Structure 1
Amino acid sequence: MNLTWKLMQELKPTLLMVLVQVSYAFSSVLYKLAINDGMSLRVLSAYRLIFGAAFSFSLALIFERKKRPKLTWRVVLMSFFSGLFGGSLFLNLFFFALALVSTTYAYAVFNLVPATTFILSILCGYENLNARTAAGKTKVLGTMLGIGGSMLLSFFKGMKINIWNFHIKLLHKNDNSDQLGTRTPHANPKTEWLGVLSGIGSCLSFSIWLIIQAKVSKEYPSHHSATALMALMGAIQATAFALCVEKDWSQWNLGSSIRLLTALFSGTVTSGFVIIATTWCVRKRGPLYASVFNPLSLVLVAIAASMLLQEHLYVGSVIGAVLIVCGLYMVLWGKNKEMKTATHLVSLDNTKEFGVITDVVVVSTTENSDRENNSHDNCKSNIVTN
Structure 2
Amino acid sequence: MNDVRKLVQDLKPVFLMVSVQIAYSSVNVLYKLAINDGMSIRVVTAYRLMFAVVFTSSLALIFERKSRPKLTWRVLFMSFFSGLFGASLFHNLFLEALDLVSATFATAVYNLVPAVTFILAILCGMEKLNVRTAAGKAKVMGTIIGIGGSMLLTFFKGQEINVKSFGTNLLQKNEQVVALHTDSGKKFLGVLCGFGSCFSFALWLIIQSKMSKEYPSHHSSTALMSLMAAIQATAFALYVEKDWSQWKLGSSIRILTVAYTAIVASGLVVIVIAWCVRMRGPMFVSVFNPLMLVLVAVADSLMFGENLYVGSVMGAMLIVGGLYMVLWGKSKEMKKANLSVSSEINQEHEATEVVVMSTTINDDNCDRVNNTDANCKSNIVAKVS
Q: Same fold (TM over 0.5)?
A: yes
- The 10-residue stretch of structure 1 (133-142 or 153-162) with the greater mean CA deviation from structure 2: 153-162
Q: Which amino acid aligns with 1:233?
A: M
Verify the 8 A CA contact 2:109 2:194 in the aligned structure 1. Answer: yes
Following superposition, the deviation at residue 38 of structure 1 comes to: 0.9
| Pair 376,210 (structure 1): closer, same or farther in 2 beyond 3 Å | closer
- Choose 219-228 or 268-277, whichever is displaced more: 268-277
Given the alignment of the two structures, is residue 171 of structure 1 paired with residue 166 of structure 2, yes or no? no
CA distance in 1, matches of 2:73, 2:268: 25
TM-score (norm 1): 0.79
Is 1:142 aligned to residue 125 of structure 2? Answer: no
Q: Distance in 2 between matches of 1:65 and 1:36?
A: 41
In structure 1, C-alpha distance between the alignment counterparts of 2:108 and 2:323, rounded to whole Å: 16
CA contact (8 A) 1:227 1:275 kept: no
Residues 94, 198 of structure 1: 8 Å contact kept: yes
* Mapped contact 1:135–1:335 kept (Cα < 8 A): yes
Higher mean C-alpha deviation, range 80-89 or range 148-157: 148-157
Deviations 1:159-212 (A, max 9, x none): 444569842443231267216xx949xx953x7665554444333221111111
- Give the stretch that moved more between structures: 91-100 or 53-62: 91-100
Matched, 1:220 2:218: no
Alignment partner of 1:265 is 2:286: no
Amino acid at match of 1:172: Q
SS of the aligned residue for 1:178 comes to helix
What residue is the counterpart of 1:384 in the other structure? Answer: none
* 8 Å contact from structure 1 (residues 143, 292) kept in 2: no
Deviations 1:102-154 (A, max 9, x none): 66665565554333211112233433322211111112222333343444455
Matched, 1:209 2:209: no
Label 1:16 to 1:338 Cα distance change in 2 as closer, same or farther (>3 A): farther
Q: Does 1:239 align with 2:229?
A: no
Q: How many percent of aligned residue pairs carry the same amino acid? A: 62
1:95 offset after TM fit, Å?
3.7
- Asked whether 1:85 is paired with 2:80, we answer no
For the Cα contact (< 8 Å) 1:214–1:286, is it kept in 2?
no
The count of corresponding residues between Structure 1 and Structure 2 is 367
Q: How far apart are residue 318 of structure 1 and its match?
A: 4.2
Q: 1:204-260 CA distances to partner (integer Å, 9 max, x unpaired)? A: 221111111112222222222211111111111111111121111111111111111
- 5 Å-filtered alignment, 1:1-386, equals 21-97=21-97, 110-153=110-153, 155-161=155-161, 166-174=166-174, 177-178=177-178, 183=181, 188-189=184-185, 195-274=190-269, 297-373=292-368, 375=370
**CA shift in 2, pair 1:316/1:97, >3 Å:** closer
Q: One-letter code of the match for 2:130?
A: N
Read off the aligned partner of 2:131 and give its amino acid letter. Answer: A
**What secondary structure sits across from 2:66 in the alignment?**
coil
Per the alignment, do residues 47 and 35 of structure 1 end up closer, same or farther by CA in structure 2, a change over 3 Å counting?
A: same
Q: 1:15 deviation in Å?
A: 8.0
Instruction: Give me the whole-angstrom Cα distance separating, in 2, the residues matched to 1:280 and 1:203.
Output: 25
Q: Is the 8 A contact 2:115 2:323 kept in 1?
A: no
Which residue type is aligned with residue 337 of structure 1?
K
Structure 1 pair 196–325 and aligned structure 2 pair: CA distance change class (3 A): closer
Quote how far apart the aligned CAs of 1:45 are: 0.9
The residue identity in structure 1 corresponding to 2:219 is H
Q: Is the 8 A contact 2:160 2:309 kept in 1?
A: yes
**Matched position secondary structure for 2:173:** coil
CA-to-aligned-CA distance 1:325-366 (integer Å, 9 cap, x gap): 433332332222112211111121122212222222233333
8 Å Cα contact 2:122/2:128 also seen in 1: yes
